A and B are shown apart, each in its own frame.
Chain A
Amino acid sequence: MFELARYEARRRLKGTLYLTVGLTLLAGMYIATFPSMAEDMNLDQFLDQMPEVFLELFNIATMNTIEGFLAAELYSIGWVLLLGLYTAYSAATVIADDIDRERMDILLSLPMSRARVLAEKFLALLVPIGVVNAVLPVVIYVGTVGIGYPIDPVNLAVVHLLAVPYLLACGGIGLVLSVLTSRSTIAQRGALVAIFGLFLFESLTTIAGHEWLGAIAPMRYFDATAVLVDGSYDWAGGAILLGGTVLLVGASVVYFRRRDIE
């Protein structure tokens, strides 16, 4: 068992390294700029001038604390949007790229079911998701201690724990697109459009007073601001994201088992 998952996981190591380094630099940049901003200006006054859509889009509560600042800057952009896009984009290649590049014939000549091929390849996405969410909280904690504005380590750990089901759900969306088409570029573009679209949709439906509509978006169930600023943990949201992931992967398996490889 898991031979293919191990192989695919090794194939993702290099990308994971680049991703981790990139996010470390991004986090370091935000953390390094916080002291001067916090001392020289009242960012919340600046926020009052911003339109509501901006605050809703990036889930901004306050920028005067390191927690509020990181939630607004690093997590809403770096995690919810960028990592969500990255994961969905990666998942979009899981099946479609092998079919597109004619690798699927040899892969499926191995004595393993299509369900197992799909599941093990999807599992390998846990490498970038897991590594980023294990390394970055350490980097961020050390960074905030270093600038003299230490962040609560428990809240920080919980944000990264809850980020895992969120990212898996984004991957699930990419995976569905990956089995629906045999063209990986179409699946990848579709995944980017889907995540970005859901991100906008979730915020806009809230502003427009139709909050219930945004319930289909995974962004609804991952709120870094609530965890970091208020210390409130949405475990139910995490469970919903995991359930959604299972549904998306299950639907992908059902379709992949039935489809022709062409």
Chain B
Amino acid sequence: MSVIDVSGLTKHYGEVRAVQGVDFTVEAGEVFGFLGPNGAGKTTTIRTMLGLLSPTAGQATVLGADSTDEPAMIAAKRSIGYLPANPAFDDSATGREILDLHASIKGADRRAELLDRFGVPLDRAIRAYSSGNRQKLGIVQAFMHDPELVIMDEPTSGLDPLMQQRFNEFVRAEREQGVTVFFSSHVLSEVRQVCDRVAILRDGELVTTESIESLLGRSGKFVHARIAGHVESDAFDGDAVHGFEQTLIEDRAEELLAVTDLQRGTDVVTDIQFTYTGDINDLLAELNAYSFVDLDVEEAPLEEVFIRFYGPDEPSERTPTGQYSETDLPGGDEDV
């Protein structure tokens, strides 16, 4: 039996179709990524799975319990950990009081070990917690009763990069112990580090469920280069190149060239960027013909992947500015 089974799950808020006919299953021991841009319906799906929202149609079961069957869900919740998107606790309570409450109701076999790993200022009032500490307290309460299944909504938001790394290691270790982990994210690079499979949600509909390797194979690399001299506009034509853009830089060229040792007698720099989905060796061979002022080759951001595979959307709605960290948007000001 699957640990999570979602079939035809639909949730409408009046006229708004938050989630529409979503189907997926998560097997025992999997780390499953639930990927999609902000506003795609990830949180609504998760909260419906947990019985916080009732589905408009379809159903979701977790550990065999139907999300709308309260007695079955209460039994299942003994073995489920949940970390919501913005874990919130009583401001005036201390972390210790919160964990004591949770311990008294669901148990706390792993509390000490988790607190060692994710240091939380237990005796401070929650009101004085940073968002990172709140998130860590949320992680501790989600895992402390040694659950079989942990559902997390954007678990690494609010964590600093070091703690994100520690969290990823932790999730991998949990998988080794046989824990099933389901988590949502809007950041592909985060998901790729720990997930076995991903489902991609967009506009409330599931666009694909596939292994992380096949998704990464198709998503390609984002290439941003500054090349000394001129570049022919058709220089990078080919099936593997998508969204090619080039800009000639003349006014600042001297400055840019000065940081390199190039002695090519040129006074312009060409800025190019594109997404590359072919063999990485072919890409390097093509690039070899040029001299560079700068070169970035990064994993394509999720939005790029969406647009390439699933067609463009209204950009103003799909990409609220400021929602992506810098590493997710190598294009910087050219975000989609």
Contact = CB atoms under 8 A, between A and B. Distances in A.
A106 B106 CA distance: 12
B141 interface: yes
Q: How large is the interface on B (under 10, 10 to 19, 20 to 34, 35 or more residues)?
A: 20 to 34
B92 A11 contact: yes
Given A7-B97, A108-B52, A111-B74, A101 B102 contact: no
A112 interface: yes
B82 A105 contact: yes
A3 interface: yes
Interface string B68-112: 001100110110111010111110110001001110111000000
B74 A103 contact: no
A109 B70 contact: no
Given A260-B52, A261-B53, A111 B88 contact: no
A7 B101 CA distance: 7
Interface string A81-115: 00000000000000000000111111011111110
A262 interface: yes
Contact of B88 (A10, A106, A110): A106
B138 interface: yes
B82 A106 contact: yes
A121 to B, nearest CB: 12
Contact of A110 (B51, B92, B106): B106
B89 A106 contact: yes
Given A106-B84, A110-B77, A261 B141 contact: no
Contacts of B101: 3-4, 7
A261 B77 contact: no
Nearest to A103: B88
B105 A106 contact: no
Interface in A231-262: 257-258, 260-262
B329 interface: no
Contacts, number: 70
A4 B82 contact: no
A111 B138 contact: no
Nearest to B53: A260
A113 B71 CA distance: 8
A105 B92 CA distance: 18
Interface residues of A, number: 23
A112 B76 CA distance: 11
A113 B77 CA distance: 11
B246 interface: no
Contacts of A261: 47, 52-53
Interface string A155-185: 0000000000000000000000000000000
B54, B88, B106: most-surrounded residue (chain A CB, <10 A)? B88
A111 B52 contact: no
B87 A111 contact: no
A4 B92 contact: no
A106 B141 contact: yes
A97 to B, nearest CB: 10
B50 interface: yes
Contact of A106 (B54, B80, B87): B87
Nearest to B93: A11
A104 B89 CA distance: 9
Contacts of A105: 47, 50, 52, 82, 84, 87-88
A148 to B, nearest CB: 43
A195 to B, nearest CB: 25
Contacts of B89: 103, 106
Nearest to B100: A7
A3 B105 contact: yes
Contacts of B90: 11, 103
A109 B80 contact: yes
18 contacts: A3-B105, A4-B101, A7-B97, A7-B101, A103-B90, A105-B50, A105-B52, A105-B88, A106-B89, A106-B138, A109-B82, A111-B78, A111-B105, A111-B106, A112-B74, A114-B70, A258-B54, A260-B53
Q: Which 6 A-B pairs have the closest CB atoms?
A: A109-B82, A105-B84, A111-B77, A3-B104, A102-B88, A261-B52
